[in-house]
């Protein structure tokens, strides 16, 4: 293996390591934000469940009050029934009592439905509270853990950048501009190893003369994808 090939291989490895470190530094805040969104979503869901339970209780109270009002009305009608002065009046009052009883039966069913809904919401609230606490714990733990790694990651990032700058001196000045364009476009895949006489990035087979020139330690770029090539 020529010295140039070895230098290019080391240069490629530095790019990979730097990209990995930068990936961790960039991914951390995104993952923290994602966990924060989960916490916010759980808080919203919990508040919605509480509001729904509150609304069900209000509806149940209103219907219960209406039921009591109707029952009082039926009692009044029963007293009037005993005082009816004609069959016609008696029939009218009886019809009204029956209608109110039917209405009360519907109200009772609706009240039971509300109570079932209140119980269901209570269980949902309990579940959401547990999930919210778990989400908050996960968010806090991940944030604390990541923030503790930042100094080491930044230190490693700085060291790799310094090493990379030094390693880039192996690139001839005449090829430096093209190399920098590749790095700007492809980052850690700006370079490509030659495997089985082909570019490992695009798998294009290389001409024999290119292989010879690479063996001689010359700088060559893949004619298909433009990557800077080196022999393993």
Taking 50 as the pLDDT cut, the residues of the chain under it are: 1-2
Q: Model's pTM, two decimal places?
A: 0.75
pLDDT confidence of residue 82: 85
pLDDT confidence of residue 1: 41
If DSSP states are collapsed to H, E and C, what string results for 211-226? HHHHHCCCCCECCCCC
Q: 22, 183 in Cβ contact below 8 A? A: no
Provide the strand spans (E) within the chain.
191-195, 198-199, 228-231
CATH topology for the 21-167 domain: Helix Hairpins (1.10.287)
Alpha-carbon gap, residue 199 to 215, rounded angstroms: 15
pLDDT confidence of residue 157: 98
Q: Which of 185, 229, 179, 182 is nearest to 205 (CA)?
A: 229
Strands 198-199 and 228-231: unpaired
Sorted by where each begins, the domain ranges of the chain are 21-167, 171-232
pLDDT confidence of residue 3: 52
């Amino acid at each position: 293996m020529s010295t140039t090939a070895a230098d290019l291989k080391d240069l490629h490895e530095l790019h990979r390591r730097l990209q990995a470190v930068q990936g961790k530094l960039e991914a951390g805040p995104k993952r923290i934000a994602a966990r924060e969104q989960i916490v916010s979503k759980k808080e919203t869901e919990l508040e919605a469940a509480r509001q729904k339970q509150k609304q069900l209780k209000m509806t149940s109270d209103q219907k219960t009050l209406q039921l009591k009002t109707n029952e009082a009305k039926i009692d009044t009608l029963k007293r009037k029934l005993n005082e009816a002065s004609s069959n016609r009046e008696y029939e009218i009052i009886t019809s009204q009592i029956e209608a109110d009883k039917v209405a009360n039966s519907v109200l009772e069913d609706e009240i039971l439905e509300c109570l079932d809904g209140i119980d269901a919401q209570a269980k949902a609230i309990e579940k959401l509270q547990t999930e919210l606490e778990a989400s908050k714990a996960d968010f806090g733990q991940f944030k604390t853990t990541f923030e503790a790694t930042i100094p080491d990651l930044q230190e490693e990032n700085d060291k790799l950048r310094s090493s990379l700058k030094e390693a880039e001196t192996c690139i001839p000045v005449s090829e430096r501009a093209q190399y920098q364009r590749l790095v700007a476009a492809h980052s850690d895949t700006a370079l490509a190893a030659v495997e089985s006489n082909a570019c490992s990035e695009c798998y294009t087979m290389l001409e024999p003369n290119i292989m010879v020139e690479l063996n001689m330690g010359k700088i060559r770029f893949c004619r298909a994808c433009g990557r800077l090539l080196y022999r393993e």
